Amino acid sequence: AQTVTQSQPEMSVQEAETVTLSCTYDTSESDYYLFWYKQPPSRQMILVIRQEAYKQQNATENRFSVNFQKAAKSFSLKISDSQLGDAAMYFCAYRKSGTYKYIFGTGTRLKVLA
């Protein structure tokens, strides 16, 4: 069965600095999608970034980028120039291509220090 592991329950970063959140996953599939979701105190999950497994190029969305290592089954999120509004829970998620079920990690709580 596929699993997603986030080994950092909590991380802190100074405002304007860079932080990397870790995610590893376990699958025997070759075609799948990976996601990072942000959950602020409002509880609504917001998509931060997504990566197709067949693409070698790492996805980037403004200050957010990923380091996708398919062989190592690693999918880390880098947040550059951290802002106070980045403080939230971050969830890594996996979905096998052609299926509907998203599998989520346990989340990393990110604190941004002024």
Instruction: Kindly indicate which of the ranges 12-20, 66-74, 78-86, 95-103 contains the residues binding another protein, using the contact rule CB under 8 A.
Output: 95-103
Q: Does 14 bind another protein (CB under 8 A)?
A: no
Residue at token pair 């931060």: 48
Residue given tokens 């290592």 in the structure block: 69
Q: Are 96 and 29 in contact (CB under 8 A)?
A: yes
Give the residue, chosen from 23, 103, 110, 112, that forms a contact with another protein under the rule CB under 8 A: 103
95 binds another protein (CB under 8 A): yes
Return the bridge partners of 111, or none: 12
Q: Which of residues 51-90 bind another protein (CB under 8 A)?
A: 52
Angle at 77 between CA 21 and CA 67, to 5 degrees: 120
- How many residues form the binding site for another protein (CB under 8 A)? 27
Residue pair 6/105 in contact by the 8 Å Cβ criterion: yes
Interface positions with another protein (CB under 8 A): 4, 6, 9, 33, 37, 42-47, 50, 52, 91, 93, 95, 97-107
